[in-house]
Structure 1
Amino acid sequence: MDAIDLLLNRHSHANLAAPAPTQEELEIIVQAGLRAPDHAHLRPWRFIVYQGDGRQELADILERAAINNPDLDQAAIDKAPKMPFRAPVVITVIAKVSAHPKVPPLEQHLSAGCAVMAMQQAALVLGYGGIWRSGVYATDPYVRDAFELAEQDEIVGFLYLGTAQGETRIAAMPLLDKYVEFIGD
């Protein structure tokens, strides 16, 4: 797959199973994330890779967050500890913000978001599927405390990785004239 095909056919897989990326492949995937745009070399990311039995740690965090959230019903509370087991690997991606006169927090958050996409694309090239999820737990106060986030830090997503199951569906390409304005020749 060449780079243009990869970018123009970006897609997600929600149904993921074993086999998971190997340790060597996971290191390549994370290295792709470490190449995200990074103004002033702040390295504004933190990646926590949960795999195998390690996913239970994330399940415990999500379950406690769900129990402590008065807005969630029993079905959501029951679902929370199962979420990390929807794929063999889950990478929690955090934007770790540093004070800098030329690099505002938003730019650091966007850098972490670019890291998620780079990792998902690297997984695809290696033959794996992935899906970037966020949801209520990305901003939950209990989850934020569990990850020891400072005020401006953010969980930008949970990247689920594994072997894609079922049919690959690639959304139609949006029309350029609806989203793009070309000025000049």
Structure 2
Amino acid sequence: MPEANTAALEFLLSRRSRPAKTLTTPVPTHEELEPILRAGLRAPDHGKLEPWRLIVLEGRAVMDRLADLAQVRGEALDLDAEKITKGRSQFDMGNLAVVVVESPVIAEKVPEIEQSYSAGAVCLQLLNAALAAGWGANWLSGWPSHDRGFLSDGLKLSPRERVAGIIHIGTEKAAPPERPRPEMEKKVTWVSR
């Protein structure tokens, strides 16, 4: 019988993302963030392609710049005021975030969709590592994450790159209530033959 890591399993069974609007300062220092980043980079990576990279957004100056860019891009796209406000809000509230950038590699044996899944795995690894380290964390995206103008002007992404997620990390000011979870009976199918 394998030896169980009960503490890790219990963490996974009870983990809960923290709403980004409840995150505040202090945020992790570079030294505190480094093991979280290392854990994120240990995500499943079929073919050892590393089809992703990370951009750490830290401090008010970069967050304010990105919030303003979301405003400008939203207006240029003729989005309604509510959508613009929502698009810029994660940067207005944010103090530290890690952007997971999909950087697909041309590889005959590894389809691009599997590379996208790997980038999503990096997002989840970062989220769980931040929570395990005692920080509050939330995985967001939003329309700016998919707007080519925002991506090229704000994050300097190449035309082939996309944002898989933006992981906000900070100190939680309020613990969120538990939410309903999927029922196994409705989501799991057992196949024995």
Compute the TM-score of the two structures, normalised by the length of structure 2: 0.85
Alpha-carbon separation, structure 2, partners of 1:55 and 1:159: 13
Once the two structures are TM-superposed, the CA of residue 108 in structure 1 deviates from its matched residue by 0.8
Aligned match of 1:74: 81
Amino acid at match of 2:158: L
Match of 1:98 in 2: 105
Number of the residue aligned with 2:66: 58
Give unmatched runs, 5+ long, in structure 1: none
1:61–1:143 Cα contact (<8 Å) kept: yes
Residue 124 of structure 1 aligns with which residue?
Answer: 131
2:170 maps to 162
- The 5 Å alignment of 1:7-156 reads 7-14=12-19, 15-52=22-59, 53-70=61-78, 72-77=79-84, 80-146=87-153, 147-151=156-160, 153-156=161-164
Runs of 4+ with >4 A deviation: 78-82
The question of whether the paired residues in 1 share the 8 Å contact of 2:87 and 2:142 is answered with no
Distance 1:46 1:60, change over 3 A: farther
Aligned residues of 1:50 and 1:58 also touching (Cα < 8 A): no
Contact 2:40 2:123 in 1 (8 A): yes
Partner SS for 1:121:
helix
Q: How many residues align?
A: 183
Structure 1 17/107 Cα, relative in aligned 2: closer, same or farther at 3 Å? same
CA RMSD, Structure 1 to Structure 2 (Å): 2.0
Q: Gaps (5+ residues) in structure 2?
A: 1-5
Q: CA deviation at 1:54?
A: 3.1
Paired letter, 2:10:
D
Letter of the structure 1 residue corresponding to residue 111 of structure 2: P
- Does the CA contact (< 8 Å) of 2:144 and 2:150 recur in 1? yes
Question: Sequence identity, in percent?
Answer: 33
Aligned 8 A contact 2:87 2:143 in 1: no
Alpha-carbon distance in structure 2 between the residues aligned to 1:81 and 1:137: 8
Secondary structure of the residue aligned to 2:179 is: coil
Q: 1:62 to 1:118 in 2, by over 3 A?
A: same
